[in-house]
């Protein structure tokens, strides 16, 4: 079986298990999604969704956010971890969005990645989920699964993103990256994983455990 044939079969499995893919981070617009994705770094979506209502009750737009002291933001988002860095980034990117983008989250990878605390993965999520632009956000979980399923060599997330984009139709990317995340959480976790039981690993995964 070629890698492309394997990718096609894995795609069918993901479609079967996750025909719909709700966005896991609660948000109301591109700005609140951007903040939520930034907060999700090294933090679970569940925890982010517990924290953002408190933050967005005070400021759910850049105009209100810059009125808050960084220390006040940090106190609210502390449960998400890395609060000193994240609070500073949220404050600074809010100023930039107001001053350079008329208060509107920019709709380009280039401009998003210029914002403090926003890397390529975060920009990809916003472009895909807020603006519907075809993107394949690859975090450590998708990177791990792509290697485990032998769809990529697993050298780094940049290489994994390129490999997955070659194997799957462009129109499927936005949904696919969520399907992979959901599947990984339920059937293919990093720890305590039984490859003989996993619907994908049992057929197409690497033979060695990791």
Question: Mind telling me the catalytic residues?
Answer: 121, 139
Q: Which of 164, 196, 194 is nearest to 181 (CA)?
A: 164
Contact status, residue 68 vs residue 50, Cβ threshold 8 Å: no
Which one-letter DSSP state was computed for residue 152? S
What residues contact residue 161 under an 8 Å CB cut-off, 6+ apart? 136, 138
Contact status, residue 204 vs residue 188, Cβ threshold 8 Å: no
Furthest-apart CA pair in the chain: how many Å?
Answer: 58
What residues contact residue 128 under an 8 Å CB cut-off, 6+ apart? 134, 135, 137, 173, 174, 177
Please tell me the distance from the alpha carbon of residue 89 to that of residue 87, in angstroms, as a whole number.
5
Please tell me the distance from the alpha carbon of residue 163 to that of residue 80, in angstroms, as a whole number.
31
What residues contact residue 99 under an 8 Å CB cut-off, 6+ apart? none
């Amino acid at each position: 079986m070629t890698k492309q044939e394997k990718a096609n079969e894995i795609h069918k499995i993901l479609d079967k298990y996750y025909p719909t893919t709700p966005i896991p981070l609660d948000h109301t617009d591109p700005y609140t999604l951007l903040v939520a994705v930034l907060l999700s770094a090294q933090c679970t979506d569940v925890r982010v969704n517990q924290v953002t209502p408190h933050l967005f009750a005070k400021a759910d737009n850049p105009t209100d956010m810059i009125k808050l002291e960084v220390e006040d933001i940090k106190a609210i988002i502390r449960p998400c971890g890395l609060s000193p860095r994240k609070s500073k980034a949220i404050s600074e990117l809010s100023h930039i969005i107001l001053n350079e983008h008329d208060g509107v989250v920019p709709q380009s990878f280039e401009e998003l990645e210029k914002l403090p605390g926003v890397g390529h993965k975060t920009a990809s999520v916003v472009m895909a989920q807020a603006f519907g632009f075809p993107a394949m956000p690859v975090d450590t979980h998708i990177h791990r699964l792509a290697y485990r399923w032998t769809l990529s060599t697993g050298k780094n997330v940049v290489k994994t993103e390129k490999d997955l984009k070659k194997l799957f139709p462009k129109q499927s990317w936005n949904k696919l990256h969520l399907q992979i995340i959901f599947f990984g959480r339920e059937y293919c976790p990093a720890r305590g994983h039984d490859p003989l039981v996993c619907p994908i690993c049992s057929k197409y995964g690497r033979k060695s455990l990791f």
